[in-house]
Structure 1
Amino acid sequence: MRREVLGSSEFWNEWVDFEYDSIAHRKKIDAMPGGDANYRPQYLFELVKSYFQLILRRYSRGDSKSDLVQHFGGLLDTWEESEKLGRNVWTAEQARTRHAWTVNLDHYIVCFWLTGLALTLNIPDEQWQRLVALMGNDGEDALLDRVIASRQSDRKIGTTLCFPNVYQRLLDAVDALPEQQPKALRVFLDHWFVSLKNAGHPSFPPSHRTPYWYTFGQINPEGGAYFGYWCVEAVAVAKAFGIDDSLCLDHPNYPGDLLMDGRSPRYPDAVAAAQPSAPARGWLRRLLGK
Protein backbone atom coordinates (compact mmCIF):
# COMPACT_ATOMS: atom_id res chain seq x y z
CA MET A 1 0.00 0.00 0.00
CA ARG A 2 0.98 3.61 -0.59
CA ARG A 3 2.63 5.85 1.98
CA GLU A 4 1.47 8.96 0.10
CA VAL A 5 -2.21 9.76 0.56
CA LEU A 6 -2.45 11.42 -2.85
CA GLY A 7 -2.61 9.32 -5.98
CA SER A 8 -3.29 5.62 -6.45
CA SER A 9 -1.06 2.59 -6.79
CA GLU A 10 -1.53 2.85 -10.54
CA PHE A 11 -0.45 6.50 -10.45
CA TRP A 12 2.72 5.77 -8.50
CA ASN A 13 3.56 2.71 -10.62
CA GLU A 14 3.21 4.81 -13.76
CA TRP A 15 5.45 7.62 -12.58
CA VAL A 16 8.07 5.38 -10.98
CA ASP A 17 8.35 3.63 -14.34
CA PHE A 18 8.49 7.02 -16.05
CA GLU A 19 11.40 8.11 -13.84
CA TYR A 20 13.29 4.89 -14.61
CA ASP A 21 12.70 5.49 -18.33
CA SER A 22 13.69 9.14 -18.03
CA ILE A 23 17.00 8.24 -16.39
CA ALA A 24 17.75 5.66 -19.08
CA HIS A 25 16.84 8.12 -21.83
CA ARG A 26 18.92 10.93 -20.37
CA LYS A 27 21.93 8.63 -20.05
CA LYS A 28 21.51 7.52 -23.65
CA ILE A 29 21.32 11.12 -24.88
CA ASP A 30 24.36 12.08 -22.83
CA ALA A 31 26.41 9.27 -24.38
CA MET A 32 25.80 10.58 -27.90
CA PRO A 33 28.53 12.69 -29.53
CA GLY A 34 28.06 16.39 -30.03
CA GLY A 35 25.67 18.52 -28.08
CA ASP A 36 26.23 21.72 -26.12
CA ALA A 37 29.29 21.21 -23.90
CA ASN A 38 28.38 24.30 -21.87
CA TYR A 39 24.98 22.86 -20.95
CA ARG A 40 26.13 19.31 -20.22
CA PRO A 41 27.00 19.92 -16.52
CA GLN A 42 23.45 21.18 -15.89
CA TYR A 43 21.99 18.38 -17.99
CA LEU A 44 23.75 15.85 -15.79
CA PHE A 45 22.61 17.57 -12.61
CA GLU A 46 19.03 17.27 -13.84
CA LEU A 47 19.76 13.55 -14.00
CA VAL A 48 20.97 13.68 -10.38
CA LYS A 49 17.58 15.16 -9.47
CA SER A 50 15.87 12.29 -11.31
CA TYR A 51 17.74 9.80 -9.12
CA PHE A 52 16.68 11.30 -5.79
CA GLN A 53 13.16 11.94 -7.09
CA LEU A 54 13.01 8.25 -8.02
CA ILE A 55 13.94 7.34 -4.44
CA LEU A 56 11.15 9.55 -3.11
CA ARG A 57 8.63 8.30 -5.68
CA ARG A 58 9.39 4.72 -4.68
CA TYR A 59 9.05 5.67 -1.03
CA SER A 60 5.66 7.27 -1.80
CA ARG A 61 4.57 4.13 -3.63
CA GLY A 62 5.32 2.05 -0.55
CA ASP A 63 8.50 0.26 -1.62
CA SER A 64 10.68 -1.33 1.03
CA LYS A 65 13.29 0.94 2.58
CA SER A 66 15.98 -1.61 1.76
CA ASP A 67 15.26 -1.26 -1.98
CA LEU A 68 15.96 2.47 -2.12
CA VAL A 69 19.69 2.54 -1.45
CA GLN A 70 20.53 0.98 -4.83
CA HIS A 71 20.08 4.35 -6.56
CA PHE A 72 22.87 6.13 -4.71
CA GLY A 73 25.64 4.72 -6.89
CA GLY A 74 24.25 6.16 -10.12
CA LEU A 75 23.41 9.44 -8.40
CA LEU A 76 26.95 9.92 -7.15
CA ASP A 77 28.57 8.91 -10.44
CA THR A 78 26.43 11.43 -12.31
CA TRP A 79 26.95 14.25 -9.82
CA GLU A 80 30.72 13.76 -9.89
CA GLU A 81 30.72 13.94 -13.69
CA SER A 82 28.58 17.09 -13.59
CA GLU A 83 31.00 18.77 -11.20
CA LYS A 84 34.05 17.69 -13.21
CA LEU A 85 32.64 19.18 -16.41
CA GLY A 86 31.31 22.25 -14.65
CA ARG A 87 34.76 23.33 -13.54
CA ASN A 88 35.55 24.11 -17.17
CA VAL A 89 32.23 25.87 -17.83
CA TRP A 90 31.00 27.85 -14.83
CA THR A 91 32.34 31.23 -13.86
CA ALA A 92 33.29 31.77 -10.21
CA GLU A 93 29.98 33.53 -9.59
CA GLN A 94 27.98 30.80 -11.32
CA ALA A 95 29.76 28.17 -9.22
CA ARG A 96 28.96 30.12 -6.06
CA THR A 97 25.26 30.56 -6.78
CA ARG A 98 24.97 26.90 -7.78
CA HIS A 99 26.72 25.45 -4.74
CA ALA A 100 26.71 27.86 -1.79
CA TRP A 101 24.21 26.88 0.89
CA THR A 102 24.16 30.49 2.08
CA VAL A 103 22.40 31.65 -1.09
CA ASN A 104 20.87 28.63 -2.85
CA LEU A 105 17.86 27.28 -0.95
CA ASP A 106 17.17 24.53 -3.49
CA HIS A 107 20.72 23.22 -3.24
CA TYR A 108 20.67 23.42 0.55
CA ILE A 109 17.49 21.35 0.67
CA VAL A 110 18.83 18.80 -1.83
CA CYS A 111 21.95 18.37 0.30
CA PHE A 112 19.82 18.02 3.45
CA TRP A 113 17.63 15.41 1.74
CA LEU A 114 20.60 13.44 0.46
CA THR A 115 22.23 13.57 3.89
CA GLY A 116 19.02 12.31 5.49
CA LEU A 117 18.59 9.55 2.93
CA ALA A 118 22.24 8.55 3.29
CA LEU A 119 21.97 8.36 7.08
CA THR A 120 18.67 6.50 7.23
CA LEU A 121 19.52 4.10 4.38
CA ASN A 122 23.00 3.50 5.82
CA ILE A 123 24.89 3.93 2.56
CA PRO A 124 28.40 2.41 2.53
CA ASP A 125 31.30 4.50 3.83
CA GLU A 126 32.83 4.88 0.37
CA GLN A 127 29.60 6.41 -0.94
CA TRP A 128 29.23 8.55 2.16
CA GLN A 129 32.69 10.09 1.68
CA ARG A 130 31.90 10.86 -1.95
CA LEU A 131 28.62 12.49 -0.98
CA VAL A 132 30.26 14.68 1.67
CA ALA A 133 32.91 15.78 -0.83
CA LEU A 134 30.26 16.67 -3.41
CA MET A 135 28.17 18.67 -0.95
CA GLY A 136 31.10 20.73 0.32
CA ASN A 137 30.13 23.87 2.30
CA ASP A 138 32.10 22.69 5.32
CA GLY A 139 31.30 24.95 8.27
CA GLU A 140 28.54 26.91 6.51
CA ASP A 141 25.43 25.96 8.51
CA ALA A 142 24.79 25.47 12.21
CA LEU A 143 22.27 22.69 11.61
CA LEU A 144 23.16 20.70 8.51
CA ASP A 145 26.84 20.62 9.48
CA ARG A 146 25.84 19.04 12.80
CA VAL A 147 23.70 16.44 11.05
CA ILE A 148 26.61 15.54 8.78
CA ALA A 149 28.94 15.48 11.80
CA SER A 150 26.84 12.69 13.33
CA ARG A 151 28.64 10.40 10.85
CA GLN A 152 31.62 12.63 9.97
CA SER A 153 33.27 13.55 13.26
CA ASP A 154 35.80 15.96 11.74
CA ARG A 155 33.11 18.09 10.09
CA LYS A 156 33.48 21.80 10.78
CA ILE A 157 30.29 23.24 12.29
CA GLY A 158 28.84 26.52 11.14
CA THR A 159 27.80 29.18 13.62
CA THR A 160 24.68 30.51 11.87
CA LEU A 161 21.72 29.11 9.95
CA CYS A 162 21.58 29.72 6.22
CA PHE A 163 17.76 29.89 6.26
CA PRO A 164 16.60 30.56 9.83
CA ASN A 165 13.00 31.36 8.88
CA VAL A 166 12.61 27.71 7.88
CA TYR A 167 15.08 25.81 10.02
CA GLN A 168 15.37 27.65 13.35
CA ARG A 169 12.60 25.46 14.79
CA LEU A 170 14.48 22.33 13.74
CA LEU A 171 17.69 23.59 15.34
CA ASP A 172 15.65 24.37 18.46
CA ALA A 173 14.53 20.73 18.51
CA VAL A 174 18.15 19.59 18.39
CA ASP A 175 19.12 21.93 21.24
CA ALA A 176 16.06 21.22 23.41
CA LEU A 177 16.17 19.09 26.53
CA PRO A 178 15.64 15.40 25.69
CA GLU A 179 12.13 15.36 27.12
CA GLN A 180 11.19 18.41 25.02
CA GLN A 181 12.69 17.25 21.73
CA PRO A 182 9.75 15.13 20.46
CA LYS A 183 7.29 18.02 20.77
CA ALA A 184 9.78 20.50 19.29
CA LEU A 185 10.35 18.21 16.30
CA ARG A 186 6.60 18.08 15.69
CA VAL A 187 6.37 21.89 15.94
CA PHE A 188 8.98 22.21 13.19
CA LEU A 189 7.15 19.68 11.05
CA ASP A 190 3.84 21.51 11.42
CA HIS A 191 5.43 24.73 10.14
CA TRP A 192 7.85 23.26 7.59
CA PHE A 193 5.93 23.47 4.32
CA VAL A 194 4.40 26.91 4.76
CA SER A 195 7.70 28.38 5.94
CA LEU A 196 9.43 27.38 2.69
CA LYS A 197 7.44 29.79 0.54
CA ASN A 198 9.62 32.75 -0.51
CA ALA A 199 12.30 31.60 1.93
CA GLY A 200 15.17 31.86 -0.56
CA HIS A 201 17.94 34.42 -0.63
CA PRO A 202 16.83 37.94 -1.70
CA SER A 203 19.56 38.04 -4.36
CA PHE A 204 17.61 35.39 -6.29
CA PRO A 205 14.63 36.44 -8.44
CA PRO A 206 11.24 35.92 -6.73
CA SER A 207 10.52 32.90 -8.92
CA HIS A 208 13.58 31.14 -7.44
CA ARG A 209 13.02 31.92 -3.76
CA THR A 210 10.60 29.02 -3.26
CA PRO A 211 11.72 25.39 -3.80
CA TYR A 212 11.23 24.21 -7.38
CA TRP A 213 8.98 21.33 -6.27
CA TYR A 214 6.73 23.42 -3.98
CA THR A 215 3.67 23.51 -6.25
CA PHE A 216 4.00 20.01 -7.73
CA GLY A 217 1.31 18.55 -5.47
CA GLN A 218 -1.04 21.53 -5.86
CA ILE A 219 -1.03 22.27 -9.58
CA ASN A 220 -1.84 19.29 -11.81
CA PRO A 221 -0.37 16.61 -9.48
CA GLU A 222 -1.65 13.90 -11.83
CA GLY A 223 0.74 15.30 -14.48
CA GLY A 224 3.60 13.38 -12.91
CA ALA A 225 5.95 16.02 -11.49
CA TYR A 226 4.82 15.34 -7.92
CA PHE A 227 7.02 12.93 -5.96
CA GLY A 228 5.62 13.58 -2.49
CA TYR A 229 6.00 16.31 0.10
CA TRP A 230 8.42 14.51 2.40
CA CYS A 231 10.24 16.42 5.11
CA VAL A 232 13.44 14.39 5.00
CA GLU A 233 15.11 17.08 7.12
CA ALA A 234 13.01 16.07 10.15
CA VAL A 235 13.81 12.38 9.86
CA ALA A 236 17.49 13.21 9.30
CA VAL A 237 17.58 15.07 12.62
CA ALA A 238 15.69 12.27 14.39
CA LYS A 239 18.26 9.79 13.09
CA ALA A 240 21.33 11.93 13.76
CA PHE A 241 20.43 12.89 17.32
CA GLY A 242 18.33 9.94 18.45
CA ILE A 243 15.17 12.00 18.93
CA ASP A 244 11.94 10.16 19.68
CA ASP A 245 9.81 10.83 16.59
CA SER A 246 6.64 9.08 17.72
CA LEU A 247 4.67 12.36 17.76
CA CYS A 248 5.49 12.84 14.06
CA LEU A 249 4.46 9.45 12.70
CA ASP A 250 0.90 10.46 11.82
CA HIS A 251 1.98 13.64 10.03
CA PRO A 252 1.42 13.39 6.25
CA ASN A 253 4.86 14.89 5.49
CA TYR A 254 6.95 12.78 7.86
CA PRO A 255 8.80 9.86 6.20
CA GLY A 256 9.04 7.77 9.36
CA ASP A 257 9.55 4.50 7.51
CA LEU A 258 13.00 5.72 6.47
CA LEU A 259 14.05 4.99 10.05
CA MET A 260 12.19 1.69 10.27
CA ASP A 261 9.69 0.19 7.87
CA GLY A 262 6.14 -0.35 9.07
CA ARG A 263 5.64 2.76 11.22
CA SER A 264 4.12 5.26 8.79
CA PRO A 265 0.47 5.28 7.67
CA ARG A 266 -0.43 3.28 4.56
CA TYR A 267 -3.30 3.96 2.20
CA PRO A 268 -5.17 1.36 0.16
CA ASP A 269 -6.53 2.57 -3.16
CA ALA A 270 -10.08 2.59 -1.80
CA VAL A 271 -9.16 5.43 0.59
CA ALA A 272 -8.03 7.98 -1.99
CA ALA A 273 -8.20 8.29 -5.75
CA ALA A 274 -5.84 10.26 -7.96
CA GLN A 275 -7.47 13.48 -6.80
CA PRO A 276 -7.22 14.43 -3.11
CA SER A 277 -10.05 13.11 -0.96
CA ALA A 278 -11.90 15.43 1.41
CA PRO A 279 -9.60 14.59 4.36
CA ALA A 280 -6.57 15.04 2.12
CA ARG A 281 -7.81 18.44 1.00
CA GLY A 282 -8.25 19.32 4.67
CA TRP A 283 -4.65 18.65 5.61
CA LEU A 284 -3.48 20.28 2.38
CA ARG A 285 -5.33 23.48 3.34
CA ARG A 286 -3.75 23.36 6.79
CA LEU A 287 -0.37 22.74 5.19
CA LEU A 288 -0.76 25.81 3.02
CA GLY A 289 -2.08 27.94 5.85
CA LYS A 290 -5.47 28.35 4.17
Structure 2
Amino acid sequence: MIRAPLGDKAYWNERVANRWNSITMAEEQLKTPAVWKQYEAEYLWGYTQDHPRQTLTQYSRGDPIAQLYNPFPKVLDAWEQSNREAEHIEREYKPEHVRAWEFRLDYLEHYNWCFWLVGLALVFNIPNDQWDRLVALIGGEGEDQLLDRVIATRQKERPIGGKLLHKKPYARLLKAVESAPDQQAPLLRDFVDHWYAELKRPYNKTIWWYDYGDPEVNPLEKGSYFGRWCVEAVAAVKAFGLDDSLCLGHEHYPGDLLRPQGPSTHQRASSGLGWLKSLFRKGPAS
Protein backbone atom coordinates (compact mmCIF):
# COMPACT_ATOMS: atom_id res chain seq x y z
CA MET A 1 0.00 0.00 0.00
CA ILE A 2 1.27 3.47 -0.91
CA ARG A 3 2.12 5.34 2.30
CA ALA A 4 2.45 8.89 0.97
CA PRO A 5 -0.74 10.96 0.65
CA LEU A 6 0.16 12.00 -2.93
CA GLY A 7 1.08 10.03 -6.03
CA ASP A 8 -0.18 6.80 -7.59
CA LYS A 9 1.71 3.54 -8.10
CA ALA A 10 3.01 4.63 -11.50
CA TYR A 11 4.39 7.84 -10.02
CA TRP A 12 6.22 6.04 -7.23
CA ASN A 13 7.60 3.29 -9.46
CA GLU A 14 8.99 5.95 -11.77
CA ARG A 15 10.46 7.94 -8.88
CA VAL A 16 12.25 4.91 -7.40
CA ALA A 17 13.60 3.91 -10.82
CA ASN A 18 14.76 7.44 -11.62
CA ARG A 19 16.49 7.77 -8.27
CA TRP A 20 18.40 4.52 -8.87
CA ASN A 21 19.38 5.84 -12.30
CA SER A 22 20.59 9.09 -10.76
CA ILE A 23 22.70 7.22 -8.22
CA THR A 24 24.15 4.89 -10.86
CA MET A 25 24.96 7.75 -13.24
CA ALA A 26 26.66 9.71 -10.46
CA GLU A 27 28.76 6.68 -9.50
CA GLU A 28 29.86 6.27 -13.12
CA GLN A 29 30.74 9.96 -13.34
CA LEU A 30 32.80 9.75 -10.16
CA LYS A 31 34.99 7.04 -11.69
CA THR A 32 36.50 9.56 -14.11
CA PRO A 33 38.51 12.69 -13.26
CA ALA A 34 36.40 15.81 -13.01
CA VAL A 35 36.74 18.32 -15.85
CA TRP A 36 35.95 21.19 -13.50
CA LYS A 37 37.68 20.14 -10.30
CA GLN A 38 36.45 23.16 -8.37
CA TYR A 39 32.87 21.81 -8.53
CA GLU A 40 33.70 18.28 -7.37
CA ALA A 41 32.74 18.84 -3.72
CA GLU A 42 29.34 20.25 -4.70
CA TYR A 43 28.68 17.36 -7.08
CA LEU A 44 29.56 14.85 -4.39
CA TRP A 45 27.28 16.58 -1.94
CA GLY A 46 24.35 16.27 -4.33
CA TYR A 47 25.14 12.57 -4.68
CA THR A 48 25.22 12.28 -0.88
CA GLN A 49 21.62 13.51 -0.68
CA ASP A 50 20.41 10.96 -3.21
CA HIS A 51 20.79 8.05 -0.79
CA PRO A 52 18.45 8.88 2.12
CA ARG A 53 16.08 10.43 -0.41
CA GLN A 54 15.82 7.04 -2.10
CA THR A 55 15.09 5.38 1.24
CA LEU A 56 12.19 7.75 1.86
CA THR A 57 10.97 7.40 -1.72
CA GLN A 58 10.74 3.64 -1.25
CA TYR A 59 8.96 4.20 2.05
CA SER A 60 6.43 6.45 0.32
CA ARG A 61 5.86 3.82 -2.37
CA GLY A 62 4.95 1.29 0.29
CA ASP A 63 7.95 -1.04 0.13
CA PRO A 64 8.29 -3.50 3.04
CA ILE A 65 10.41 -1.98 5.78
CA ALA A 66 12.86 -4.88 5.69
CA GLN A 67 13.49 -4.15 1.99
CA LEU A 68 14.10 -0.40 2.28
CA TYR A 69 17.42 0.79 0.93
CA ASN A 70 19.93 1.29 3.72
CA PRO A 71 21.75 4.53 2.76
CA PHE A 72 24.68 3.76 5.05
CA PRO A 73 27.61 3.54 4.46
CA LYS A 74 27.42 5.09 0.95
CA VAL A 75 26.10 8.35 2.32
CA LEU A 76 29.03 8.44 4.76
CA ASP A 77 31.59 7.68 2.04
CA ALA A 78 30.20 10.43 -0.17
CA TRP A 79 29.98 13.03 2.60
CA GLU A 80 33.55 12.31 3.74
CA GLN A 81 34.80 12.49 0.16
CA SER A 82 32.93 15.75 -0.39
CA ASN A 83 34.63 17.20 2.69
CA ARG A 84 38.06 16.10 1.45
CA GLU A 85 37.42 17.65 -1.95
CA ALA A 86 36.20 20.85 -0.33
CA GLU A 87 39.46 21.14 1.62
CA HIS A 88 41.46 20.55 -1.56
CA ILE A 89 39.46 23.11 -3.52
CA GLU A 90 39.88 25.71 -0.79
CA ARG A 91 43.64 25.21 -0.89
CA GLU A 92 44.05 25.10 -4.66
CA TYR A 93 41.33 27.37 -6.04
CA LYS A 94 40.21 29.47 -3.06
CA PRO A 95 36.65 30.00 -4.34
CA GLU A 96 34.26 32.09 -2.29
CA HIS A 97 31.77 29.22 -1.99
CA VAL A 98 32.98 25.63 -2.30
CA ARG A 99 29.50 24.23 -1.67
CA ALA A 100 26.16 26.02 -1.56
CA TRP A 101 25.10 24.06 1.53
CA GLU A 102 25.78 25.62 4.94
CA PHE A 103 27.38 22.95 7.13
CA ARG A 104 26.27 24.40 10.46
CA LEU A 105 23.56 23.19 12.80
CA ASP A 106 22.25 26.70 13.32
CA TYR A 107 21.12 26.55 9.68
CA LEU A 108 17.74 24.84 9.69
CA GLU A 109 18.36 22.95 6.43
CA HIS A 110 21.51 21.30 7.76
CA TYR A 111 19.94 20.65 11.16
CA ASN A 112 16.99 18.90 9.51
CA TRP A 113 19.35 16.85 7.32
CA CYS A 114 21.45 15.74 10.30
CA PHE A 115 18.37 14.88 12.36
CA TRP A 116 17.03 12.75 9.50
CA LEU A 117 20.29 10.86 9.23
CA VAL A 118 20.41 10.25 12.98
CA GLY A 119 16.83 8.98 12.87
CA LEU A 120 17.52 6.64 9.97
CA ALA A 121 20.73 5.47 11.60
CA LEU A 122 18.80 4.54 14.75
CA VAL A 123 16.10 2.78 12.72
CA PHE A 124 18.65 0.79 10.72
CA ASN A 125 20.75 0.21 13.85
CA ILE A 126 23.93 0.89 11.91
CA PRO A 127 27.19 -0.60 13.23
CA ASN A 128 29.30 1.36 15.69
CA ASP A 129 31.97 2.29 13.15
CA GLN A 130 29.36 3.84 10.85
CA TRP A 131 27.68 5.58 13.79
CA ASP A 132 31.00 7.10 14.88
CA ARG A 133 31.64 8.37 11.35
CA LEU A 134 28.16 9.90 11.17
CA VAL A 135 28.51 11.67 14.50
CA ALA A 136 31.92 13.00 13.46
CA LEU A 137 30.45 14.38 10.24
CA ILE A 138 27.58 16.03 12.08
CA GLY A 139 29.86 17.61 14.67
CA GLY A 140 28.27 20.39 16.69
CA GLU A 141 28.75 18.75 20.07
CA GLY A 142 27.11 20.77 22.81
CA GLU A 143 25.34 23.12 20.39
CA ASP A 144 21.74 21.89 20.44
CA GLN A 145 19.95 20.43 23.43
CA LEU A 146 17.55 18.23 21.50
CA LEU A 147 19.81 16.71 18.85
CA ASP A 148 22.57 16.23 21.42
CA ARG A 149 20.19 14.32 23.68
CA VAL A 150 19.04 12.04 20.87
CA ILE A 151 22.64 11.28 19.85
CA ALA A 152 23.63 10.77 23.50
CA THR A 153 21.26 7.81 23.81
CA ARG A 154 23.84 5.92 21.75
CA GLN A 155 26.94 8.02 22.42
CA LYS A 156 26.88 8.50 26.19
CA GLU A 157 29.82 10.91 26.32
CA ARG A 158 28.30 13.48 23.96
CA PRO A 159 28.05 16.93 25.60
CA ILE A 160 24.49 18.25 25.82
CA GLY A 161 23.82 21.78 24.62
CA GLY A 162 22.08 24.30 26.82
CA LYS A 163 19.84 25.80 24.14
CA LEU A 164 17.58 24.83 21.27
CA LEU A 165 18.81 26.15 17.94
CA HIS A 166 15.45 26.04 16.14
CA LYS A 167 12.51 26.61 18.46
CA LYS A 168 10.06 26.25 15.59
CA PRO A 169 9.10 23.45 15.34
CA TYR A 170 11.49 21.62 17.67
CA ALA A 171 10.47 23.15 20.99
CA ARG A 172 7.35 21.01 20.75
CA LEU A 173 9.42 17.83 20.36
CA LEU A 174 11.71 18.77 23.23
CA LYS A 175 8.65 19.33 25.40
CA ALA A 176 7.42 15.83 24.57
CA VAL A 177 10.82 14.34 25.40
CA GLU A 178 10.93 16.13 28.77
CA SER A 179 7.31 15.45 29.74
CA ALA A 180 5.86 12.80 32.03
CA PRO A 181 5.07 9.48 30.28
CA ASP A 182 1.30 10.06 30.42
CA GLN A 183 1.71 13.36 28.52
CA GLN A 184 4.12 12.20 25.84
CA ALA A 185 1.57 10.86 23.34
CA PRO A 186 -0.50 14.07 22.95
CA LEU A 187 2.62 16.26 23.00
CA LEU A 188 4.31 14.18 20.33
CA ARG A 189 1.17 14.40 18.23
CA ASP A 190 1.19 18.17 18.73
CA PHE A 191 4.74 18.31 17.37
CA VAL A 192 3.88 16.18 14.32
CA ASP A 193 0.73 18.25 13.69
CA HIS A 194 2.74 21.49 13.58
CA TRP A 195 6.02 20.16 12.18
CA TYR A 196 5.53 20.89 8.49
CA ALA A 197 3.92 24.31 8.90
CA GLU A 198 6.54 25.46 11.42
CA LEU A 199 9.41 24.48 9.14
CA LYS A 200 8.28 27.21 6.77
CA ARG A 201 10.80 30.00 6.34
CA PRO A 202 11.25 32.91 3.90
CA TYR A 203 11.69 31.71 0.31
CA ASN A 204 15.48 31.98 0.37
CA LYS A 205 15.80 30.03 3.64
CA THR A 206 13.17 27.32 3.15
CA ILE A 207 14.33 23.70 3.33
CA TRP A 208 15.10 22.33 -0.15
CA TRP A 209 12.33 19.70 -0.18
CA TYR A 210 9.66 21.83 1.51
CA ASP A 211 7.62 22.78 -1.59
CA TYR A 212 7.93 19.44 -3.41
CA GLY A 213 4.41 18.35 -4.32
CA ASP A 214 2.93 21.82 -3.82
CA PRO A 215 0.61 22.27 -6.83
CA GLU A 216 1.43 25.98 -7.11
CA VAL A 217 5.19 25.85 -6.57
CA ASN A 218 6.53 22.40 -7.45
CA PRO A 219 3.63 20.24 -8.68
CA LEU A 220 3.65 16.48 -8.60
CA GLU A 221 4.29 16.14 -12.34
CA LYS A 222 7.77 17.60 -11.85
CA GLY A 223 8.69 14.43 -9.99
CA SER A 224 10.55 16.02 -7.08
CA TYR A 225 8.12 14.95 -4.34
CA PHE A 226 9.29 12.01 -2.23
CA GLY A 227 6.96 12.47 0.74
CA ARG A 228 7.09 14.81 3.72
CA TRP A 229 8.14 12.59 6.55
CA CYS A 230 8.88 13.74 10.09
CA VAL A 231 11.87 11.47 10.66
CA GLU A 232 12.78 13.61 13.67
CA ALA A 233 9.74 12.28 15.55
CA VAL A 234 10.75 8.70 14.75
CA ALA A 235 14.27 9.47 15.99
CA ALA A 236 12.88 10.67 19.34
CA VAL A 237 10.52 7.70 19.68
CA LYS A 238 13.35 5.28 18.92
CA ALA A 239 15.78 7.06 21.24
CA PHE A 240 13.51 7.66 24.24
CA GLY A 241 10.72 5.13 23.86
CA LEU A 242 8.02 7.80 23.54
CA ASP A 243 4.40 6.76 23.08
CA ASP A 244 3.60 7.43 19.42
CA SER A 245 0.12 5.88 19.37
CA LEU A 246 -1.63 9.18 18.60
CA CYS A 247 0.66 9.79 15.62
CA LEU A 248 -0.12 6.56 13.81
CA GLY A 249 -1.74 7.23 10.47
CA HIS A 250 -0.65 10.88 10.39
CA GLU A 251 0.29 12.00 6.88
CA HIS A 252 3.73 13.16 8.09
CA TYR A 253 4.58 10.42 10.60
CA PRO A 254 6.55 7.47 9.18
CA GLY A 255 5.47 5.09 11.93
CA ASP A 256 6.02 1.96 9.84
CA LEU A 257 9.79 2.50 10.21
CA LEU A 258 9.38 1.39 13.82
CA ARG A 259 7.06 -1.52 12.96
CA PRO A 260 8.93 -3.57 10.35
CA GLN A 261 6.64 -6.57 10.80
CA GLY A 262 3.52 -4.50 10.00
CA PRO A 263 0.69 -4.07 9.46
CA SER A 264 1.03 -0.58 8.00
CA THR A 265 -0.02 2.35 10.16
CA HIS A 266 -0.92 4.40 7.07
CA GLN A 267 -4.16 4.98 5.24
CA ARG A 268 -4.50 6.83 1.96
CA ALA A 269 -6.08 10.26 2.27
CA SER A 270 -8.96 9.20 0.01
CA SER A 271 -10.02 6.43 2.38
CA GLY A 272 -11.28 8.73 5.15
CA LEU A 273 -10.21 8.69 8.78
CA GLY A 274 -9.85 4.92 8.93
CA TRP A 275 -9.62 2.62 11.88
CA LEU A 276 -6.29 3.99 13.12
CA LYS A 277 -7.53 7.55 13.53
CA SER A 278 -10.76 6.46 15.17
CA LEU A 279 -8.80 4.26 17.55
CA PHE A 280 -5.91 6.55 18.43
CA ARG A 281 -6.93 10.16 17.72
CA LYS A 282 -7.92 11.16 21.23
CA GLY A 283 -5.40 13.90 21.90
CA PRO A 284 -6.21 17.58 22.46
CA ALA A 285 -7.13 19.71 19.48
CA SER A 286 -4.13 21.39 17.89
Tell me the TM-score normalized by structure 1.
Answer: 0.85
Q: Does 1:240 align with 2:236?
A: no
Residue type of the alignment partner of 1:99: F
Give the conservation status (yes or no) of the 8 Å contact 1:141–1:158. Answer: yes
Cα separation, 2, equivalents of 1:15 and 1:225? 8
Give a deviation string over 1:69-99, Cα, whole Å, max 9, x none. Answer: 5331211111110011112234799689721
Give a deviation string over 1:208-260, Cα, whole Å, max 9, x none. Answer: 32111111021311321111000000111111110010100021100001111
Residue 207 of structure 1 corresponds to 203
Give the conservation status (yes or no) of the 8 Å contact 2:228–2:252. Answer: yes
Cα separation, 2, equivalents of 1:68 and 1:155? 29
Give a deviation string over 1:174-208, Cα, whole Å, max 9, x none. Answer: 1111110111000011111110111xxxxxxx433
Among 89, 100, 104, the residue aligned to 2:104:
100
Residue 230 of structure 1 corresponds to 229
Residues matched between the structures, number? 265
Among 134, 138, 158, the residue aligned to 2:137:
134
Residue type of the alignment partner of 2:228: Y
Cα separation, 1, equivalents of 2:95 and 2:144? 21
SS at the partner of 1:99? coil
Identity score, percent? 46
Cα separation, 2, equivalents of 1:251 and 1:34? 44
Among 155, 158, 180, the residue aligned to 2:158:
155
Cα separation, 1, equivalents of 2:244 and 2:208? 27
Q: Does 1:190 align with 2:190?
A: no
Residue 217 of structure 1 corresponds to 213
Q: Does 1 or 2 have the higher relative contact order (CA < 8 Å, sep 6+)? A: 1
Cα separation, 2, equivalents of 1:105 and 1:143? 14
| Consecutive unaligned residues in structure 1, runs of 5 or more | 199-205, 281-290
Residue type of the alignment partner of 1:31: K
- Change in Cα spacing, 1:116 to 1:155, as seen in structure 2 (3 Å) is same
Residue type of the alignment partner of 1:223: K
Cα separation, 1, equivalents of 2:222 and 2:70? 26
- Change in Cα spacing, 1:243 to 1:92, as seen in structure 2 (3 Å) is farther
Give the conservation status (yes or no) of the 8 Å contact 1:166–1:192. Answer: yes
| Consecutive unaligned residues in structure 2, runs of 5 or more | 274-286
Residue type of the alignment partner of 2:140: N
Cα separation, 2, equivalents of 1:95 and 1:168? 32
Residue 31 of structure 2 corresponds to 31
Cα separation, 2, equivalents of 1:150 and 1:49? 25
Residue type of the alignment partner of 1:215: D
SS at the partner of 1:180? helix
Cα separation, 2, equivalents of 1:266 and 1:170? 22
Residue type of the alignment partner of 2:159: K
SS at the partner of 2:54? helix
Cα separation, 1, equivalents of 2:115 and 2:196? 15
Cα separation, 2, equivalents of 1:69 and 1:14? 16
Q: Once the 2 structures are TM-superposed, how far is the Cα of residue 278 of structure 1 from its aligned partner?
A: 9.7
